[in-house]
Amino acid sequence: MDTRQVAAVFIAGIAVFAYLSITGQFAASIVVMLLLIIGMTAYMTMLGKTLSNVPELTARLSPDAKKIIIRNSGNTSAVQIHVAVVPLDIEYDVAEVSPDMEHTYAVERMISEGKAYITWKDHEGHAFSHESPISALGKGEDDLLKPMFPMFDIKK
């Protein structure tokens, strides 16, 4: 936590102790609950900033099915990217993909259907991986009707 946040929590703790000594327990418990809520909010905000600094890579095919497009939809750059297209036995490496940028890899023949298995690292060295179905028939990850957080099995 930031030193200003720690100082604010310390001052609030002293204020709660003074309030406890003057008033009853019921009013003091309300103040304690408010301080806990503010503390949880500050912690979740800090955690959200940490989790948002993750690169997210997905793969898709170009409209002519002769290029594999790797897109970084995260907030930081992805480095040491390795892409393997299964079962087509295509493997290649990419040095870096910046946030909101795409990398295109051309193949010799059209790809009808496959799965791209992508592994990468962020600048801190944390490793990530993702599997993206790629298809020339439009059955990829960019389905607009697919729910973002599925609660039940997705019908295919």
Q: What is the pLDDT of residues 3-37, one digit of tens each?
A: 787 778 778 777 877 777 677 777 777 777 877 88
Q: What is the pLDDT of residues 69-86, one digit of tens each?
A: 999 988 889 999 999 999
Shared-domain flag, residues 48 and 100: no
Q: How far is CA 93 from CA 17, 34, 64, 65, in A?
A: 59, 51, 22, 20
Range of the domain at 29: 3-52
Residues in the chain: 156
Shared-domain flag, residues 32 and 63: no
Shared-domain flag, residues 46 and 63: no
The pLDDT of residue 30 is 75
What's the total number of domains in the chain?
Answer: 2
Q: H/E element holding 38?
A: helix 25-52
Q: H/E element holding 40?
A: helix 25-52
Residue 142 in domain: no
Residue 146 in domain: no
Residue 143 in domain: no
The pLDDT of residue 118 is 95
Which one is predicted more confidently, 55 or 153? 55
Residue 156 in domain: no
Residue 149 in domain: no
Q: What is the pLDDT of residues 90-139, one digit of tens each?
A: 999 999 999 889 999 999 888 888 899 999 998 888 899 999 888 887 66
